[in-house]
């Protein structure tokens, strides 16, 4: 397939590696991932004039190599090739102190040779791409040893792809980059070359699991579990060489809808037998199948509540069918009443996940992972960390992020989410100092799971619609691996994607570094959330959801704005948090400004910690945010002629749309709250 942007793997990124003499020692039976390592090196050396050597080799050939890539055998030996062991013994660290966790690798530089040894083939693939990311720096300098391994055992992307085009949500639900790369006309595509490119991209940054279909499982997709298993196997075959296992989103009602049973009751023996048989057939077709992703009893999806059962009953049903094969069920905690009465202020959507799931802590089987959205609502630009993450110490928890920009500009706006995610992962959940990232990784001695995110790619030539949105996909993968600095990650991505031109890198940073906070400034203020057009969720609509059943209210009136979630006078949501946050959020005196309206209903004249009143903050930030978008566009204009014209034009077009949309947000929000409060902007700026 031609005309597809290479994202962070352009040919040029392999120049430093490909211009050298590279020895790859993996052995004849190392498997498809090791074959990928050999193929990557072969392509790079053929392109840039280097030389690839594979086993069997002599000691002299090893010593003549600029780069050695090898898999460790048992006891820390280079099991694939004795000559490699003999040549490196005594001079390199190799086995004794090298990490042996799956995916781990060590890079050592000594006497002009760079050696990568890995615990397994996946680790060797990750080590290879660590060299690619470093470029010439990987092949210079004196003795150095760098050990690396993934912090999270699960690094997963969920695709919300439909096999057929949904009449409301399209082919990719919350997709902003074209159709599905997997499906067309109700079936898996005949040509999977683009999927192969995608698998290569994900493998290069350590993604190890992919969910193949929408969590809202429609009728056609439900049959991936039964009638379309051969096609699932075809997709698994494409992902396998890059160390990635495939998962399916499964409908809890499958025993009824595709199995012909009269019930889906998880305690019914016939239902249990049906799932056991269905899972056995899956593994007969896809032996390394990962398992299921399930959304149940939420937003119309069927679940165990219909039978008087709870979510532990439902999740364990599937877990026990998967357990003999090593499979895992990712059970989403996104469960709430979406038929609320807007008149009833005692009902609080934010409470729902904690209310439903924390009483079940300790009842989930070991191969159940509870997949928890990072916040209690729905991927808002700013919301507090979900209290569920700290509230279930006896359950494996995966934290779910949203790479697709549903509530952050829908890939029309340049919004780099790395800083948001880093803040979330570094958030200290309780007085013992544990962070969100610690819980996901199972640190220090917890129940390891990992990070999951909703993917943002489609059939668009730039994969993500907005070329700069590629940075979010890259950042998720690097943060899931264990990197910490979102701006360093952005710089890494920019260097791989655009090369070493300092003017381009400077422009990318000027556009993206603070773009998440810029978006926050010109959209919904102080953690209040939503204020978007119902349905498609794009663009401002102050009262769009205010009188609906979805539970996403701001309660703005002539006197004030915000949701009272305190224990003293509100919904009691603050009580779901551990100390110190239960008390920090309870008081307007200690609640952080950026979350004030999430937890409190306050007058427009309430003075923030910043010294501004709430209404003046709305006036100022919406005006300033728009001005920042104008500056972003000006910064991008400086790279005209330095990047390919098609890419430059696409980003320019998207920035123009962002400017238009930011102007609407600015003018509508400022006008709406002047009309509610009657308080003028102290700066005298125009309000309509």
Start-to-end Cα distance in the chain: 50
| Counted domains in the chain | 3
Tell me if 400 sits within 8 A of 332, measured CB to CB. yes
- Shared-domain flag, residues 449 and 524: no
Last residue of a domain, one of 95, 122, 148: 148
- Give the CATH number, domain containing residue 65: 3.30.379.10
- Shared-domain flag, residues 525 and 479: no
Per-residue pLDDT tens for 508-526?
999 999 999 999 999 999 9
**Helix (H/G/I), strand (E/B), else coil: 457:** coil
Nearest residue to 51 via CA among 83, 22, 91, 80: 22
- Shared-domain flag, residues 335 and 233: yes
Report residue 450: phi and psi, to 5°: 150, -155
Rounded CA separation 83/244 (Å): 31
Paired sense of beta strands 602-603 and 560-561, if any: antiparallel
Check residue 2 and give its pLDDT: 56
Rounded CA separation 187/234 (Å): 12
DSSP 108-168: EEETTEEEEEESSHHHHHHHHHHHHHHGGGGG-SSSEEEEE--S-SEEEEE--EEEEEETT
Check residue 1 and give its pLDDT: 37
- Shared-domain flag, residues 253 and 374: yes
Last residue of a domain, one of 106, 129, 148: 148
Query: What are the C-alpha distances in Å from 585 to residues 253, 425, 429, 591, 611?
Result: 39, 19, 13, 5, 19
**Is 410 contained in some domain?**
yes
* For residue 580, cis peptide bond before it (omega within 30 degrees of 0): yes
Q: Which helix (H) or strand (E) holds 25?
A: strand 21-25
- Shared-domain flag, residues 264 and 125: no
- Give the CATH number, domain containing residue 658: 3.90.1330.10
Query: What are the C-alpha distances in Å from 355 to residues 85, 359, 371?
Result: 57, 7, 15
pTM equals: 0.97
Full domain range(s) for residue 100: 11-148
Structure tokens at 295: 């959304």
DSSP 587-635: -TTTS-GGGHHHH--EETTPBPTTS-BHHHHHHHHHHHHHHHHHHHHHH
Beta strand extents in 488-598 (DSSP E only): 560-561
Check residue 324 and give its pLDDT: 98
Please list the rounded mean pLDDT of every run of 10 residues in the chain (688 residues): 86 98 88 97 98 87 91 65 76 58 90 90 97 95 87 97 93 97 96 98 98 97 97 98 98 97 98 98 98 97 98 98 98 96 95 98 98 98 98 97 98 98 97 96 90 98 98 98 97 97 98 98 96 97 97 97 98 98 98 98 98 98 98 98 98 98 98 98 97
- Give the CATH number, domain containing residue 434: 3.20.20.80
Per-residue pLDDT tens for 328-358?
999 999 999 999 999 999 999 999 999 999 9
Check residue 225 and give its pLDDT: 97
Q: Which residues are catalytic?
A: 299, 378, 406
Last residue of a domain, one of 130, 148, 166: 148
**Is 6 contained in some domain?**
no
A 10 A CB-CB count for 579 gives 10
Averaged pLDDT score across all residues of the chain: 95
Check residue 76 and give its pLDDT: 58
């Amino acid at each position: 397939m031609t005309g597809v942007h290479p994202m962070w793997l352009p040919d040029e990124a392999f120049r430093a590696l490909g211009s050298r003499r590279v020895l790859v020692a993996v052995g004849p039976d190392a498997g498809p991932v090791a074959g990928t390592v050999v193929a990557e090196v072969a392509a790079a050396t053929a392109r840039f004039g280097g030389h690839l050597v594979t086993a069997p080799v002599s000691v002299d050939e090893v010593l003549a190599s600029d780069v050695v890539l090898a898999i460790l055998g048992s006891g820390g030996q280079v099991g694939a090739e004795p000559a490699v062991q003999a040549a490196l013994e005594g001079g390199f660290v190799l086995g004794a102190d090298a990490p042996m966790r799956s995916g781990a690798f060590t890079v050592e530089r000594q006497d002009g040779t760079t050696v990568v040894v890995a615990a397994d083939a996946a680790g060797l693939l990750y080590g290879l791409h660590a060299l690619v990311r470093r470029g010439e720096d990987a092949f210079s300098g004196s003795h150095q040893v760098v050990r690396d391994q993934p912090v999270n055992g699960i690094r997963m992307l969920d695709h919300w792809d439909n096999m057929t085009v949904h009449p409301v949500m399209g082919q990719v639900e919350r997709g902003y980059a074209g159709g599905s790369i997997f499906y067309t006309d109700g079936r898996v595509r005949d040509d999977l070359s683009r999927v192969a490119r995608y698998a290569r991209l994900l493998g290069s940054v350590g993604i190890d699991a992919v969910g193949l279909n929408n969590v809202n499982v429609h009728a056609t997709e439900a049959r991936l579990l039964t009638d379309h298993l051969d096609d699932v196997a075809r997709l698994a075959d494409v992902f396998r060489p890059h160390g990635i296992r495939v998962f399916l989103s499964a409908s809890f009602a499958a025993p009824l809808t595709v199995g012909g049973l009269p019930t889906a009751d998880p305690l019914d023996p016939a239902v249990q037998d049906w799932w056991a048989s269905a899972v056995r057939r899956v593994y007969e077709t896809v032996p390394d199948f990962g398992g299921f992703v399930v959304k149940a009893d939420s937003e119309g999806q069927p679940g165990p509540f219909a039978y008087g059962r709870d979510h532990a009953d439902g999740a364990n049903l599937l877990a026990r069918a998967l357990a003999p094969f090593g499979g895992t069920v990712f059970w989403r905690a996104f469960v709430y009443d979406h038929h609320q009465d807007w008149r009833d202020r005692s009902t609080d959507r934010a409470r729902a996940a904690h209310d439903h799931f924390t009483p079940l802590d300790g009842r989930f089987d070991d191969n159940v992972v509870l997949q928890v959205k990072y916040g209690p609502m729905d991927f808002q630009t700013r919301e507090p960390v979900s209290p569920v993450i700290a509230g279930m110490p006896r359950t494996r928890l995966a934290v779910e992020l949203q790479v697709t920009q549903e509530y952050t500009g829908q890939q029309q706006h340049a919004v780099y989410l790395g800083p948001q995610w880093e803040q979330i992962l570094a958030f200290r959940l309780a007085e013992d100092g544990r962070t969100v990232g610690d819980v996901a990784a199972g640190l220090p001695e917890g129940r390891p799971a990992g990070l999951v995110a909703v993917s943002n790619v489609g059939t668009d030539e730039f994969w993500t619609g907005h070329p700069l949105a590629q940075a979010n996909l890259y950042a998720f993968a690097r943060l899931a691996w264990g990197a910490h600095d979102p701006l360093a990650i952005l710089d890494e991505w920019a260097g791989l994607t655009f090369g070493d031109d300092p003017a381009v890198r400077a422009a990318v940073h000027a556009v993206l570094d603070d773009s998440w906070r810029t978006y926050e400034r010109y959209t919904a203020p102080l953690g209040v959330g939503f204020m978007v057009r119902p349905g498609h969720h794009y663009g401002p609509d102050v009262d769009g959801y205010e009188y609906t059943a979805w539970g996403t209210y701001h309660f703005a009136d002539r006197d004030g704005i915000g949701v009272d979630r305190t224990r003293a006078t509100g919904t009691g949501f603050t009580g779901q948090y551990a100390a110190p946050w239960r008390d920090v959020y309870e008081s307007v005196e200690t609640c952080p400004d950026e979350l004030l309206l999430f937890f409190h209903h306050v007058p427009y004249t309430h003075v923030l910690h910043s010294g501004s009143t709430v209404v003046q903050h709305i006036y100022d930030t919406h005006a300033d945010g728009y001005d920042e978008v104008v500056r972003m566009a000006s910064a991008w204009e400086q790279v005209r002629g330095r990047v390919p014209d098609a890419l430059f034009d696409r980003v320019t077009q998207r920035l123009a749309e962002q400017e238009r949309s930011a102007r609407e947000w600015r003018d509508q929000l400022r006008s709406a709250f002047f009309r509610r409060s009657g308080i003028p902007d102290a700066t005298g700026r125009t309000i309509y």
